[in-house]
Amino acid sequence: MNTKVLEIDKDNIDKGSIIEAANMIRAGKLVAFPTETVYGLGADGLNKTAVKGIFQAKGRPQDNPLILHIHSIEQIFPLVKEIPELTYECMKKFWPGPLTILFKKSELVPDIITAGLDTVAIRMPDHPIAVELLRESNTPIAAPSANLSGKPSPTNAEHVIEDLTGKVDMIIDGGDTGVGLESTVLDVSGNCPMILRPGGVTLEDLREIIPDIIQDLGTIKEDEKIVPKSPGQKYRHYAPKADMFVYTGKIDSIVDKIKEQANLLIKEGKKVGIMATEETKDNYIQGTVLVVGSRENKNTIATNLFKTIRLFDDNNVDVILAEGVETDHIGTAIMNRMMKASSGKIKKI
Q: What's the CATH code of the domain at 337?
A: 3.40.50.11030
Please say if the pLDDT value at position 307 is more than 50: yes
Domain that holds residue 322: 243-348
Please say if the pLDDT value at position 166 is more than 70: yes
7-11, 39-43, 235-239, 345-349: least confidently modelled range: 235-239
In a domain, 233, yes or no: no
For residues 12 and 124, membership in a common domain is answered with yes
In a domain, 235, yes or no: no
In a domain, 118, yes or no: yes
In a domain, 238, yes or no: no
Q: Which residues pair with residue 80 across a beta bridge? A: 105
Mean pLDDT of 71-77: 97
For residues 39 and 72, membership in a common domain is answered with yes
| pLDDT computed for residue 42 by the predictor | 98
For residues 88 and 204, membership in a common domain is answered with yes
For residues 25 and 68, membership in a common domain is answered with yes
| pLDDT computed for residue 217 by the predictor | 75
Please say if the pLDDT value at position 146 is more than 80: yes
Cα separation, 217 vs 196, in Å, equals 9
Give the pairing of strands 170-173 and 4-7: parallel
Cα separation, 67 vs 185, in Å, equals 10
Q: What is the CATH number of the domain that holds 13?
A: 3.90.870.10
For residues 188 and 284, membership in a common domain is answered with no
| pLDDT computed for residue 223 by the predictor | 53
Q: Tell me what the pLDDT averaged over the chain comes to.
A: 94
Q: pLDDT confidence of 195, banded at 50, 70, 90?
A: very high
Query: In degrees rounded to 5, what are phi and psi of residue 12?
Result: -150, 75
Please say if the pLDDT value at position 229 is more than 70: no
| pLDDT computed for residue 224 by the predictor | 46
**Domain count of the chain?**
2
Q: pLDDT confidence of 230, banded at 50, 70, 90?
A: low
| pLDDT computed for residue 236 by the predictor | 57
In a domain, 234, yes or no: no
Mean pLDDT of 63-79: 97
For residues 204 and 252, membership in a common domain is answered with no
Cα separation, 260 vs 342, in Å, equals 19
Tens of pLDDT, residue by residue over 258-299, are 999 999 999 999 999 999 999 999 999 999 999 999 999 999
Please say if the pLDDT value at position 328 is more than 70: yes
| pLDDT computed for residue 228 by the predictor | 57
| pLDDT computed for residue 80 by the predictor | 98
In the chain, the percentage of residues whose pLDDT exceeds 70 is 95
Q: Which residues pair with residue 6 across a beta bridge? A: 172
72-86, 142-156, 221-235: least confidently modelled range: 221-235
